[in-house]
Structures are given as structure tokens and as C-alpha cells.
A and B are shown apart, each in its own frame.
Chain A
Amino acid sequence: MLDIELTINKETYQLQVPPGERLYSVLRRLGFRSVKFGDEQGLSGADTVLLDGKPVNSYLLLAAQAQGHELETIEQMGEYPDQGWKEGRGLHVLQQEFVKTGAIQCGYCTPAQLLAASELLQREPDPSEGQIREVLSGVLCRCTGYKKPVEAVIRSAARLRGEQVPPIEDPIQVPPEWLGTDPGGSLPQTRTVQVDGTTLTAERVITDIKVSNKPDTWRQVGKPKEKVDALKLVQGKPAFTADFERRDMLYAKVLHSPHAHARISSIDTSRALEIPGVRCVLTYKDLPRVPYSTAGQSDPIPGPLDCYSLDNKVRFVGDRVAFVAAESEEIAEQALEAIEVEYEILEAVLDSRKAMEPGAPIIHDQDDYVNFADSDPSKNRAAKIRIDIGDVEKGFKEADQIFEVEYEVPKVQPAHIEPHAVVTYWDEDDRLVIRTSTQVPFHVRRMIAPVLDLPIKRIRVIKPRIGGGFGGKQEMLIEDVAAHLTIATGQPVQYVCTREEEFIAARSRHPMRIRLRTGVKNDGTMTANEMYALSDTGANGAHALTVTGNTTKAMALYVGDGPYREAPNIRFYADIVYTNTPPSGAFRGYGVPQGYWPVERHMEFIANQLGLDPLEFRLKNALRAGEIHPFSVAWSEGRDPVPEMIQTNALAECVEKGKKAIGWDQKLSDKEWSRVAGKPYMKRGLGVALAMQGTAIPYLDMGGASIKLNDDGSFNLLVGATDLGTGSDTVLGQMAAEILGVPLEDMIIYSSDTDFTPFDKGAYASSTTYISGAAVVDAANKVADRIRARAARILESRVENATIIPEEIELADRCAIAPDGHAVTLEEIALHSLHHADQEQIMAVGSYMSPVAPPPFAAQFAEVTVDIETGAVEVDKLVMVVDAGVIVNPVTASGQVEGGMTQALGYAVSEEMVYDEKGRAREKDFRNYHIFSAQEMPDLEAIFVETFEPSHPFGVKAVAEIPMDGVAPAVGNAVFNACGADIHDNPITPEKVWRALKVE
């Protein structure tokens, strides 16, 4: 052990540390929890601290190296301004601006960004945007797209120079009439469609949950409110799973398979168990064999049960072999090295095209595999989809031309900066508590119970703040590891995945090979559209059926024109096959981005071949308001479909605004624009893609909320919905505050804990604002009714001969106001109801399930510069115009779009997961798996075209996932526009462009 002295935030610490102990672990041990783990190479930068005023990676430094230097963490920067009787220091200007500008989404990287920015502002009071982006280059952010953090630093610098900065304005003004809601009153009340000889009827859906406040009086909804969790995140408070520790806690590690397909012929843990500090080693011999699915979905899970906590067979490089719990992570790692395993290596299937060939090795040959629908393990098939809408063959016969092209999309990683993390322990009532970084706490509770042989009622799942999820945490992925070890040892166990584990053992986007065949008349009318998708689910079938089923949303956007609009001809067939690669799963967009790459590249190709304007061609054939969503009659996540009518669609307006924002007409009509002065080998191009997503899963997704009035007129809002950094807690709070007539700060919002918050299916399917939001409105309305009733009673007692009708009372400014102007405060009402007369707790629960999934629409534009000698592509600008209904919070919503576009930019040009001939991953860290950093970002612009979706009380639709859909094909189309390189498989790498140009 070394005796060292560290100076941290101007305080001196005398410490004894092992020579190899990282500065990171010493800081965490001392309680500086703002310092986070993101990866082992310091490329995420979540572990940033200041060393002698400079940002460095604490995970890469030995504690001993820091001796003699000044260390600073975010804990010294500022604090909550109101400390009760003690006057607090308040937040630093940088922290204030990060909160105001919406620079914080999940907040996991926020302390690191703040430290890096503070170093810059110390030495450069008036930094350029380039300088800001350069210092932020050391901190990866997967949520924001960096635009708002950069804005926060610019504003902070100005304030520190003594300049005034403008308020964060509401960029969206409430229009007198919402766009596209019912243009000209022309939408029919019902619409019928023939399906297999049966007439089905779609009806307009107008929500019966009403909002009494008129849009032009809204004070909370539609406003750029600060995120309700921003203050704790900007201070680096211990809000995340791994920040929570318990006495006697053990640390878990997992031994992973080095083989793609093998049977464990022997496994000996005796050497590992002899290592001092090792408390437990578990193999398949120790655990009950329970088949389950890891997919965090509602009951019954629409997929096969083909996973086991531990098995005697491994099915991909990275599959689980054994679990270890030890007194430290280092000891647990030593134990992994000491486990002796002999494998019988089996032939592996790595190519999805070979998975269903006769004689292919069978990946799931176990007897206890549980089928779902068309899964067939004997053929390595996890799921099958066959959807025919209309008469596709007739449509092809009626076409003047048929275009058929094959496309391919890669496997990619959600790459949330906070890895999967879980802590489990027995509480004093012998109930198992699982504190976990999950998007689906209620599903985890339900799904893990049989795996552990515990009843659901003895399990409590707590979801703290989440450092990004993007679908990767819509999974019961690692909770069982810690839980088994807690059951085995009786002790608390923490398990935090390494970055390598995120790449080799967590879930990723399904790669697909897609063949598109489209019939078109010479005037651009589409007559039939057919897609076949071969989807690779990897070694397990979680989300296999539903992700690929969702790919249909890309096909649904284009129905054809004229008679085809009334009766489109669409075919979607898919086989989802097992391979010996890491399992695929949910990732933002959930199958839809896989569909839009081929569909939008194909639309561009057809328009080009027919000499049509690409935007006119698209809009001519695109789905419109008043029409039936074509797949609503054929597909509903494996359940019975119900036809749905599109009620709001501002796609045409999105296109117009987007064209203007990117300068579409001017640039494309100017031949000089495409050239770069002095560089004849550089060519500029513009591209576009349209997109349609979904909003929740109809007749399935349900969210609940409860609201309780407190003594001071504030409210507790408990939601089961899972804010994973998106700002959903804030948005839900805004809706409740609007109805209850209070500022957002009077809503105390908590999510989520299966013991205390109502059920919610979780954060996925772009459903929280829509589904959970309607539940919140429902609960708020009930509470508001009771407040009004009591207010009427109080006011009548105060005003002689007054008769006050509760329904006429307005809730505003923390008061209940009668039509005659008499008012009573909510605090008075609370005290009256809790203490003074006919005491009662004013409280209500609301819940909501939707019969429809109203789709948001978007137009995505991209501008690129292509080097035609090397094939290098630089994306210069991305503009996305979105119709997501009413925007509850313009700051959080635009943050969603900017961050989504940035993730999608990686899908366009840099992100992919490649495996060698033995199934070993090429990408195991952020060095090889490149996600965009601050200094290399293109210009981003998010624009909203608001419509009022009548199926929701506040008129909202979804915004979270649609930004993933259009960027890759828009960039592909821009590359084609720039230089003629027609790339069929993303990402668009320089070599692909070069080869395409060479062929040309």
C-alpha cells in the first residue's frame, strides 16, 4: 500500500492506496459521485476531473499520479441556492445556463462537460464556438447533439463578462388554429376498408379526457420549462444506480464465452473460490433452469422464451458462462481468470443468409425452448411475418415500371454513456430490492420473478436517474446476475457493465438485408410496394418479431396515389433468424430506421430513374390525414389489429419549411453551389427523406399516475413512467401543473418505484408523453374537480348568499378563482381539507390506454460535401422538421430531435458492428465504435410544425424516435446528389463511395 496525500476541492486527504488504484475509484470511495464511469479508455470523458485546472480522465490516472496536484470535481462548483436557514452559494453561472438552455438530458456526462467548460472560461473569457467544441471533445454525450451545451457555455461566458443574455424564448407561438387537425373540416368521421372480404371501420378518435384551459391561456404546456431533475444533475448529485452503495456490498463480474457456439463440457470453480475475498461463483449447475425472454414488454411477451440465466451451452462470443461476487471488482476479475472451463466447440452460424439453410447448425436445440407464433428453432427462425395488403400482384401488373433493389443495414449499439448497472439487496422484510438502470421497472419485476423463483410481491424495483437508454435498457438484461448472487450470498451486490460488455453482451439494433420491389406508373403513381426483410436477431429472439414488424412503418408511409390511395397494395414479408452473434434488441426507432434506409434510398432512386422531382414524387404517394394507416389493418405487435385513421399530418408543411431552412431550391438550381472553390475533387449535395413513426402501441400500452395535494398547495406526482433523460418527468409535470393552476416548481415528480408509483409499461414505443401524459391529465382532472368542490364550499362560506358552481371555478396562479373574482389559495384549500373540516386527502389516480397510435411525421434534410477522389463524406448540415402534435416543452423536444439526429448521423456514416470469421467483435470500445463528438458535428436545426392530435387531451404525438429515421437515407441521397454514388448499405463509408464511383 502507498501512503499518499491528495488535495481535492482544496481539502487534503491522507490515504493509503494500492499502487495500481485508479484516481477514479479513490474519488468514488471518498464520496465524489459526480465522477462517473463511461469507458476504460477515457474516451467518454464521464470520469473527468480537473487536475491543476485541466480536465483529465480519472479512470486513466493512478491515484498516486495525482499526488502533489490540485484536484477539482463538480461538487465544489455550486450548490442548491436555497439551503433553508443557511444561505447557500447558489449555482455557478455555468450550472445555471446548463439548466436554462436544456443542455442536460440524462445528466450523466453533465459534470464532465461543466468541468471542461469551466477550464476554458478560466483562460478564455470570450471563447469561439470552435474553442468550446474543442474542450468538449473530451466528453461524449449521446443525448444532446452538443448544440445546447455549446449554447450554455456561450451564454455563461457572456454573463461572466457582465453582458446580458436574452431569455430562453419559446420558439413556438400557439397558433390561432392548429395546423392539419381537420383541414377544412374535411375529415370523415369513419372510413371503411376491405380486408380479406371483411369490411372494417376506422373511426375518428376524440379523447374524452378534457382540458378546460384554452391553448392561448396555457402557462405551463408549450413553454420552455427547465427540467425538473436538472438541479440535481447539474450538481452531480448521486442520482444514478451505481452511486448507491450498501454496507457489505459485493461486486459482480461475469465470465463471458470466447466461442461463438460451444457446449460447456466441464467447468471448475474451485480455484476461483479459494481467492480471498471471493464470496460466490455461480455456474449453470447452481441455478434453476428457467427459460425466459429478456425483452422488456407487456405480458404475454410476444417472442420465444430462449434465454437462461446460465446455460451449459454458449451461443455467441460474450455469452454468459459464470457469475462471480467478491469484495472488490479487482478480486472478482481475478476470480474470472481462475475459473477453468472446457468447451466442446460447435460449428457456428454467423451469416443470416445461411441460418435457415438445410443442415445449418441449430442454435437452440434445447428441449425447453418455448415457442411464440411462428418461431421454429429447428430452422433457426425466431419469428416470421407475412403481411399482404390489397392485391400486390395486380398492382405490379398495373405498373409501367418495376424497380427492385437490395439494401442492407448494420448492427449498431445504443451506446448510452451510463452502462447497464444494478444493485440488489434483501430489505428488512426479506423482500428483494432491485435498484437498476432500466427503462422498464414494472416489466423487470414481473419478468424476473419466475427466474428467481420469487413471487412478484416480494420484489421491489427502483429506477433512479438513467444515464441514457435509447432502447438498450428496455431489457431485463443484468438484473438477474446481481439478484442470483444476492440470493446466493445474502449480501448486497452491485454489477456495472464494462464498456466491452456493452458491446459484446448487451443488445443492439437488428441488422437486416432488405429487398424492395416497387411498381410505379410513369407519372409517379406507386401501384404496389413489396419488402422482404431478413433480420438477424443474434443468439436470442428478444424483440425479434416486434422490431421487424415495426419496420412496416417505413412501408406504410407510401400508399400510392389515386385509387391506390384508397386501396394500397403493400406486401411485407420477413424472416427473423438466429445467428451466433450477440443478441439484437430494442434501439431507438425500433425497426423503423432499418426500414427507412431502404425505402427512402429507393424512393430517391425511382424518382431519379423516372426524372421526377423527388419531393413531389414522395408527397404524391404519401399517406394523408383522413386515410387509414395501412398496417393498422394488418399488424399490431402480434395482436389483433384494429384499423386507425390518420387525424393529423403536416408532412407537406414540414417539407416546405425544411426546403426553406436548408435552401433547397436555391442551392439545387445553382450549379456553382455544388462546387468547392480550389478543390475540384469536392462536390456538394443535398438530400431528403420523409418519415413516419408511431406513438405508443394501441390497446396495449398503459400508463398510470397519482397526484396528491400537500399542506402548502404543492402536489406529489407519482408516475410509473420512466424518465431516462428525455425530460418526460418534466413534460408530465407541465401537463399536471397546467390543469392544477400551479407553476411547475409546485409539482414534486417522482419516477419510478414499483412499490410506490402506479404501473406504467415503461419508456419505449414513443409513448410516455402521449400515454403517460393522458394518465397524468386524467389524475389531474380528478384532483382539480375535488379542489374546485372544496373551493366552492370555502368561498360560499366566505361570501354571503353566494352560490358557486364548482365547474365554473378556474385554477390559476395557485388559486381557485370563482367567476366573480373571489379566490381561495390552494394552500388554504389544502389546510382546509387536511386539517380543518371534513378532513380528506385530495388525491387521485389516473390511467390511460389508447385505441390509436397517431403517427408523427417528419421531413429530414441533409447537406454534404463528398471528396470524389477518396470517397470521404462530410455532413455539413442537418435540418429536421417534425409534426409531433403539440410540443409540450420546446426545449426538451428540440433536444430530443438534435440528439436523435446525432445518433442517426452515426448510423449514416460511422457506426456499425462487425464480426470476424469466429464471431469475435471488431468494435469493443469507443475507439473503434465511433460516435460523434462535439468538435466534428454538423450544423443541426430542429423545427416543429404543430398540429393538434384530437385523440390526446393536449394534442400531443411522439417526438423521441422519429429523429432516428431520416438522417441516414437523407445523407445517402445527398451523397447521390453530390456525386452519383448510389450506396445501398449504410454506414456510408469512404471506401463504399469510392467503389461506387469507380463502378460508375
Chain B
Amino acid sequence: MIIEYYRPDSLEDALNLLSRKDPRTLALGGGLYINEVIKEPIAVVDLQDLGLAGIKKTGKNLQLGAAATLQSLLDSGLIELALEKAIMHQENYNRRQVATLAGSLVASTGRSALTAVLLALDAELELVGGGQRRDKILLGDFLPLREENLAGRLITGVRIPAGLAVSYHYVARSPADLPIVGAAAARWPSGRTRAVLLGYGEQPVMVFDGPEADGADIAARSAYSDAGDQWAGAEYRSETAGVLVNRCLEEIAEKREG
């Protein structure tokens, strides 16, 4: 149950509110997840007036505001096709008008396509804490300890490399259904290749980060060798993960050649 609502217009005010312990105070991006199940008494801090929705290219990176909506990312014309595909797969047209980038990352599950692609891109989060102290943390380090990482802090932006070859493939019961198993991969001009799996567990997992792509499919099979749940068996996920990682890598290779 939301018992208090605030809409500060400065980061400082927002952080002061978020540092409170009683009542528990949470940042409100689009609100899709906080508003969905409201059981415990909480206060919310609406971020919409903080100017955190910007999207811009800075050098070789894209700087994405934490409060940028998923639709605004699509509309920016700056993001890779694979990221577009992941966003469109993750949220329908209505929800992505409101869903924010940071909110989507904080609420990630193992089936979150957007998170998987950003993880493949080795996205870096920018956080601001008490006293306006700014920190950076890699998405892969942030995800396992989301609550701890956000104690008294706020995500203000996400930085991803621009112009990388990226790919996202998944298997689902229907095209718009949640992925049962999926893979995302990115390749840097240096040959560095990262592969990420999704469809299982608490969050997408990075399974490969190497100077070249060799062995990524084996790593994927291994990473999902115990990934069995109500939605699919481990054997299936493991085998299919390898197939999908290979497809991602092939697509990336084709893009580079193209």
C-alpha cells in the first residue's frame, strides 16, 4: 500500500526522501511494478520531474537517462536493432510508454529481454547517493544485489557502447510470449565477445566474455545445464541455449561482413 507520494524536482530532495527507513521509500519510475502489487506500507518518490529521461550519443557511447521510457528509446533512432527487438518483445505498446529504463532493470526477471541485451553490451549504471556521491557499477554486478546496491541511492543513467554488433534470439510458445530460453550477444571491434542467456532464474546471466567468440556456445550449454523449471527442462534449455548463442554470433558475423 502506498501511503505517501512525492514528486521532487531536485536530485537532492529525491535522495533525502529515498534515504528514509520508515516508511520504506522507493523510487517510482513508470510505476508498472510498484503499483502492480501493493501490500506493505511504502512511500514512493516519483522521478518524472528530475530530468533523467535524456538520450544522447557521447563519443562511442550512448548515454541513456534512467527515467527514459522504453518507447522513447525506440523513438530515439539511436539504439541497435537487437535492442529494439528486445524492448518490443519485453513490453507491449502501452506499457513501454510508461516503463522506464531503470525501472525495467530493477524489476528484471530471468525472462527480461531488455536486461539480457544490455548485459551483453556490458552496460554500466550510474548511481547517485547521499551527498550527491556518484558511483558507477556494471549491470552484471548490480543485478544480483539490486536492493543492496540501491540502498539510499538512485540510478540516474545507463551507459552502453554505441555501434556494436548485437544480436538477440529467443524461443517462446508464440512470438510475443515470454522467452523460455533466449540469448543475446555483442561483439566489440576488438573481437571481444559477450554472450548472455535468459529465460530462467532470477535474472539473465552472462555466460561468456572473451577476446573472441570461440567456445561461447559451449559455455552457454554449460551455464544452463541445470536450468530446469516448470517452463522447460534443463536438457532442452541447455541445448537450445547453445543453438541460440551460435545464431547470435552468426548474425553478428553477417552484420560485420555486411
Residues of A within 8 A of B (CB): 2, 19-20, 22, 40-43, 45, 48, 51, 54-57, 60-62, 64-65, 67, 116, 134-139, 330, 867, 869-872, 874, 909-910, 914, 916, 922, 927-928, 930, 932-933, 935-936, 987, 989-991, 994-995
Chain A: which residue is nearest B241 at the CB level? A870
For B178, give its contact among A2, A54, A116, A927 (CB under 8 Å). Answer: A927
Interface string of B37-50 (1 = CB under 8 A from A): 11000011010100
Residues of A within 8 A of B59 (CB): none
Chain B: which residue is nearest A911 at the CB level? B173
Pairwise interchain contact A870-B244, C-beta atoms closer than 8 A = yes
Pairwise interchain contact B36-A991, C-beta atoms closer than 8 A = no
Residues of B within 8 A of A64 (CB): 5, 7, 46
With A137-B93, A138-B95 given, is the CB distance from A54 to B71 under 8 Å? yes
With A932-B174, A936-B174, A987-B173 given, is the CB distance from A139 to B94 under 8 Å? yes
Interface string of B1-40 (1 = CB under 8 A from A): 1111101000000000000000000001011100111100
Instruction: Give Cα A989–Cα B5 distance, bound, in whole angstroms.
Output: 44
Residues of B within 8 A of A40 (CB): 36-37
Known: A62-B28, A137-B176, A930-B177; 15 extra A-B contacts, CB below 8 A, are: A2-B5, A41-B32, A43-B92, A57-B94, A60-B32, A61-B35, A134-B93, A137-B93, A137-B94, A330-B1, A870-B243, A871-B171, A871-B240, A987-B173, A991-B236
With A910-B177, A927-B178, A994-B236 given, is the CB distance from A54 to B243 under 8 Å? no
Residues of B within 8 A of A869 (CB): 240, 243
With A61-B31, A65-B28, A870-B243 given, is the CB distance from A910 to B46 under 8 Å? no
Pairwise interchain contact A42-B32, C-beta atoms closer than 8 A = yes
With A45-B92, A870-B240, A991-B236 given, is the CB distance from A55 to B97 under 8 Å? yes
Instruction: Give Cα A867–Cα B239 distance, bound, in whole angstroms.
Output: 14
Pairwise interchain contact B3-A20, C-beta atoms closer than 8 A = yes
Pairwise interchain contact A991-B46, C-beta atoms closer than 8 A = no
Chain A to chain B contacts (Cβ below 8 Å), 29 pairs = A19-B3, A19-B44, A20-B1, A20-B2, A22-B35, A43-B95, A45-B94, A48-B94, A51-B98, A57-B95, A57-B98, A60-B31, A60-B35, A61-B31, A61-B35, A62-B2, A62-B46, A64-B46, A116-B93, A138-B95, A869-B243, A872-B172, A874-B175, A910-B174, A927-B178, A930-B176, A935-B176, A936-B176, A991-B232
Pairwise interchain contact B95-A42, C-beta atoms closer than 8 A = yes
Residues of B within 8 A of A48 (CB): 94
Is B180 in the interface zone, CB < 8 Å from A?
yes
Pairwise interchain contact A19-B31, C-beta atoms closer than 8 A = no
Pairwise interchain contact A20-B98, C-beta atoms closer than 8 A = no
> Chain A's nearest CB lies how many Å from the CB of B175?
4
Instruction: Give Cα A62–Cα B98 distance, bound, in whole angstroms.
Output: 12
Most buried by B among A20, A51, A990: A20
Chain A: which residue is nearest B69 at the CB level? A54
Instruction: Give Cα A136–Cα B92 distance, bound, in whole angstroms.
Output: 9
Pairwise interchain contact A42-B94, C-beta atoms closer than 8 A = yes
Residues of B within 8 A of A57 (CB): 32, 94-95, 98
6 closest cross-chain pairs (CB), A and B: A138-B94, A20-B2, A19-B5, A936-B175, A910-B173, A138-B93
Residues of B within 8 A of A870 (CB): 171, 181, 240, 243-244
Interface string of B63-102 (1 = CB under 8 A from A): 0000000010000000000000000100011110110000
Most buried by B among A56, A867, A922, A930: A56
Interface string of B203-247 (1 = CB under 8 A from A): 000000000000000000000000000101100100110011000
Residues of B within 8 A of A61 (CB): 31, 35, 98
With A56-B98, A138-B92, A995-B236 given, is the CB distance from A909 to B3 under 8 Å? no
For A991, give its contact among B92, B174, B175, B233 (CB under 8 Å). Answer: B233
Instruction: Give Cα A19–Cα B71 distance, bound, in whole angstroms.
Output: 27
> Chain A's nearest CB lies how many Å from the CB of B84?
12
Chain B: which residue is nearest A53 at the CB level? B97
Instruction: Give Cα A874–Cα B5 distance, bound, in whole angstroms.
Output: 45
Residues of A within 8 A of B98 (CB): 51, 56-57, 60-61
> Chain A's nearest CB lies how many Å from the CB of B25?
12
> Chain A's nearest CB lies how many Å from the CB of B48?
7
Chain B: which residue is nearest A914 at the CB level? B230
Pairwise interchain contact A990-B7, C-beta atoms closer than 8 A = no
Pairwise interchain contact B174-A55, C-beta atoms closer than 8 A = no
Instruction: Give Cα A48–Cα B97 distance, bound, in whole angstroms.
Output: 12
Most buried by A among B48, B174, B236, B239: B174
Residues of B within 8 A of A45 (CB): 92, 94
User: Which residues in window 178-205 of B have CB below 8 A to A?
Assistant: 178, 180-181
Chain A: which residue is nearest B49 at the CB level? A68
Most buried by B among A914, A987, A990: A990
Pairwise interchain contact A990-B97, C-beta atoms closer than 8 A = no
For B92, give its contact among A67, A922, A933, A987 (CB under 8 Å). Answer: A933
Pairwise interchain contact A990-B92, C-beta atoms closer than 8 A = no
Pairwise interchain contact B173-A20, C-beta atoms closer than 8 A = no
For A930, give its contact among B44, B95, B178 (CB under 8 Å). Answer: B178
Instruction: Give Cα A507–Cα B213 distance, bound, in whole angstroms.
Output: 51
Instruction: Give Cα A60–Cα B38 distance, bound, in whole angstroms.
Output: 11
Residues of B within 8 A of A135 (CB): 93
Residues of A within 8 A of B175 (CB): 874, 935-936
Pairwise interchain contact B230-A916, C-beta atoms closer than 8 A = yes
With A19-B3, A20-B2, A20-B5 given, is the CB distance from A989 to B97 under 8 Å? no
Residues of A within 8 A of B93 (CB): 55, 116, 134-138
Instruction: Give Cα A227–Cα B231 distance, bound, in whole angstroms.
Output: 42
Instruction: Give Cα A869–Cα B250 distance, bound, in whole angstroms.
Output: 15
Residues of A within 8 A of B243 (CB): 869-870
Instruction: Give Cα A930–Cα B89 distance, bound, in whole angstroms.
Output: 13
Chain A: which residue is nearest B173 at the CB level? A910
Instruction: Give Cα A871–Cα B3 distance, bound, in whole angstroms.
Output: 48
Pairwise interchain contact A930-B94, C-beta atoms closer than 8 A = no
Instruction: Give Cα A872–Cα B182 distance, bound, in whole angstroms.
Output: 12
Instruction: Give Cα A910–Cα B171 distance, bound, in whole angstroms.
Output: 12
Residues of A within 8 A of B3 (CB): 19-20
Residues of A within 8 A of B180 (CB): 989-991
Residues of B within 8 A of A134 (CB): 88, 93
Instruction: Give Cα A544–Cα B30 distance, bound, in whole angstroms.
Output: 45
Residues of B within 8 A of A41 (CB): 32, 36
Instruction: Give Cα A61–Cα B97 distance, bound, in whole angstroms.
Output: 12
Residues of B within 8 A of A136 (CB): 93
> Chain A's nearest CB lies how many Å from the CB of B143?
20
Instruction: Give Cα A136–Cα B232 distance, bound, in whole angstroms.
Output: 30
Instruction: Give Cα A945–Cα B94 distance, bound, in whole angstroms.
Output: 40
Most buried by A among B88, B173, B175, B176: B173
Instruction: Give Cα A138–Cα B177 distance, bound, in whole angstroms.
Output: 13
Residues of A within 8 A of B240 (CB): 869-871, 990, 994
Residues of B within 8 A of A910 (CB): 173-174, 177
Instruction: Give Cα A136–Cα B176 distance, bound, in whole angstroms.
Output: 13
Instruction: Give Cα A341–Cα B174 distance, bound, in whole angstroms.
Output: 41
Instruction: Give Cα A40–Cα B37 distance, bound, in whole angstroms.
Output: 8
Residues of A within 8 A of B97 (CB): 51, 54-56
Pairwise interchain contact A62-B36, C-beta atoms closer than 8 A = no
> Chain B's nearest CB lies how many Å from the CB of A867?
8
Instruction: Give Cα A713–Cα B176 distance, bound, in whole angstroms.
Output: 52
Residues of A within 8 A of B92 (CB): 43, 45, 137-138, 933
Residues of B within 8 A of A65 (CB): 28, 31, 46, 48
Pairwise interchain contact A909-B173, C-beta atoms closer than 8 A = yes
> Chain A's nearest CB lies how many Å from the CB of B98?
5
> Chain A's nearest CB lies how many Å from the CB of B90?
11
Chain B: which residue is nearest A922 at the CB level? B230
For A116, give its contact among B48, B94, B230 (CB under 8 Å). Answer: B94
Residues of A within 8 A of B244 (CB): 870
Residues of B within 8 A of A137 (CB): 92-94, 176
With A42-B95, A138-B93 given, is the CB distance from A62 to B5 under 8 Å? yes
> Chain A's nearest CB lies how many Å from the CB of B114?
15
